[in-house]
Amino acid sequence: MKTVFFDIQPYEKTFFEGFKDEAFEKIYIKEPIDEHYEVNSQIGDAQILSVFITSTLTKEVLSKFANLKFILTRSVGFSHIDLNYCKEHNIFVFNTPHYGDYTVAEYTFGILLATVRNIEKGARGLKKDSIDMQEYTGIELFDKTIGVIGAGSIGKNVLDIAKGFKMKTLAYDPYPYGDYNFCPLDELIKNSDIISINAPLTENNHHLINRETISKMKDGVIITNAARGEIIDTQALLEGLLSKKIAYAALDVVECEEILCSKSSECAKLNNIKENCLEKFYLNQKLLALPNVTITPHMAYNTKEATERILKMTGENIISCINFNINTGAKNLVLL
Where in the sequence numbering do the catalytic residues fall? 228, 257, 298
- Per the CB < 8 A criterion, the answer to whether 216 and 184 are in contact is no
User: Which residue type occupies 66?
Assistant: A
HSE-CB for 174 with a 13 A CA cutoff? 7
Distance between CA 306 and CA 31 in Å, rounded?
22
Pairing state between β 48-51 and 2-5: parallel
DSSP letter (8 states) at residue 292: T
204 CB-near residues (< 8 Å, 6+ apart): 174
> Residue 94's closest CA among 64, 70, 65?
70
State whether the Cα torsion 306-144-214-113 is positive or negative. Answer: negative
- Per the CB < 8 A criterion, the answer to whether 34 and 61 are in contact is yes
Burial-class residue 14 by CB neighbours within 10 Å (0-12, 13-18, 19+): exposed
Distance between CA 212 and CA 43 in Å, rounded?
46
Distance between CA 51 and CA 161 in Å, rounded?
31
